[in-house]
Amino acid sequence: MTTETPAFHREVVRLDDPATGPGQVAGHRARRLIDGRDPVFTDPFLLMAEDWMPHGAFPLHPHRGIETVTVVLDGVLEHRDSAGHSGRLMAGDAQWMTAGRGIRHEETAPQGATTHSLQLWINLPSALKMTEPRYQDLVGASTPTRREAGVEVRVFSGRSGEAVSPTLNHVPVTMIDARLDPGASFHQRLAAADNAFVYVLEGAARIGGDKAKVRPGQIGWLTRSDEGGTSVLEIASEESAVRLLMFAGRPLREPVVFGGPFVMTTQDEIAQAFTDYRNGRL
Residue 111 has phi, psi (to 5 degrees) of: -55, 130
User: How far lies 270's CA from each of 68, 101, 226, 260, in Å?
Assistant: 18, 12, 31, 9
Q: Is 83 helix (H, G, I), strand (E, B) or coil?
A: coil
The answer, yes or no, to whether residue 122 has pLDDT greater than 60, is yes
Instruction: Give me the DSSP letters along 81-112.
Output: ETTS-EEEEETT-EEEEE-TT-EEEEEEPPTT
What is the tens place of the pLDDT at every residue in 192-225?
999 999 999 999 999 998 999 999 999 999 999 9
Mean pLDDT, all residues of the chain: 95
Q: What is the pLDDT, as a whole number, of residue 6?
A: 67
User: For residue 271, what is the DSSP state?
Assistant: H
Give the CATH number of domain 8-278: 2.60.120.10
Q: Supply the pTM of this predicted model.
A: 0.95
Q: Identify the burial level of 248 via C-beta atoms within 10 angstroms of its C-beta, where 0-12 means exposed, 13-18 middle and 19 or more buried.
A: buried
Taking a C-beta distance cutoff of 8 angstroms, is the pair 95, 235 a contact?
no
Query: How confident is residue 281, by pLDDT bands cut at 50, 70 and 90?
Result: confident
Domain ranges, ordered by start, for the chain: 8-278
Query: How confident is residue 1, by pLDDT bands cut at 50, 70 and 90?
Result: very low
What is the tens place of the pLDDT at every residue in 58-112?
999 999 999 999 999 999 999 998 888 888 999 999 999 999 999 999 999 999 9
- Give CA–CA dist 132/193, Å, rounded: 28
Q: What is the pLDDT, as a whole number, of residue 86?
A: 87
Residue 14's Cα: distance from chain center in Å?
A: 18
Taking a C-beta distance cutoff of 8 angstroms, is the pair 90, 59 a contact?
no
The answer, yes or no, to whether residue 4 has pLDDT greater than 80, is no
For residue 30, give the amino acid letter.
A
- Give CA–CA dist 69/96, Å, rounded: 5
